[in-house]
Amino acid sequence: MGLLEGKVAFITGAARGQGRSHALRLAEEGADIIAVDVCEQIDSVAYPMATPDDLRKTVKLVEERDRRIVAVQGDVRDHEALQEIVDRGMAELGGIDIVLPNAGILNIIGERGAGRQAWYDAVDVMLTGVYNAIEAAIPAMIAGGKGGSIVITSSTAGMRAITPTLETSRGGSLGYHAAKHGVLGLMKVYANCLAEHSIRVNTVHPTGVATPMVVNDEFGQWVAEHPEMMSGLAHPLPIQMVEPVDISNAIVWLCSEHARYITGISVPVDGGLSLR
């Protein structure tokens, strides 16, 4: 029996990258999945974002693990749409036990990543989107009376600044840092307020993860043009990046009975980067 047998997990940004990895690891541990992803391009993002085909692949991979999945294209910036997706997922799969607000963008590249719209997009997706996802699920989690676990994806940029110059700290970069710090505050408030319902709330803080968000030509070119960026990403452990499953494994633990009394904490999965 898996660590999460019989649970239902709601995951945003699930079409690929960390979100898909979380869906697969939780499925391997016995959870059914409600998956959402915008699956279309946001103008301030320079690299190609996930597509409907990516989300369909997530569905296939979860089903290959003999778990059920409800996957819907939707935007975390739209609370009403998320509420409809959560309601549909619960109607098909039962209640909801786990929420993973994971959807994220890295809109820091070029002119499109330097303007005001990039700031708004970053905050809307990675702060307001987290709030929307949690608010859509809370009533059902409380009504279920079984407690649950919420794990928000933050970043090492939610614990320290990782862009060292004014040129690399504009628009989307500022929005990214603000959002990733902001969800830490949300986590602490929710952890305090939901504790009476046995709903635990924590954050994970990855360093660079080997996903399409950073492993793409556009980001590679931007880093080549701004080598000073790497000075903020020097890990004590001899690594360049971590793998998505490294984050997923931490989340599985946080959502399991092994962490049943752990709430209100930040878990860095960063090769020691937060030490520097």
Active site residues: 176
Task: Return the structure tokens found at 27.
Answer: 């499925």
Helix %, strand %, coil % of the chain (to 5): 50, 15, 35
- Cα 135 to chain centroid distance, Å, stands at 16
**122, 178 Cβ separation under 8 angstroms:** yes
Give, as one character, the DSSP assignment of residue 214: T
Query: CA-to-CA distance for 128 and 78, rounded, in angstroms?
Result: 9
Helical spans, DSSP H, in the chain = 17-28, 52-64, 79-93, 116-123, 129-144, 171-194, 217-225, 244-255
3 state DSSP class of 237? coil
> Cβ atoms within 10 A of the Cβ of 257, count?
9
Taken as a whole, the chain contains a residue count of 276
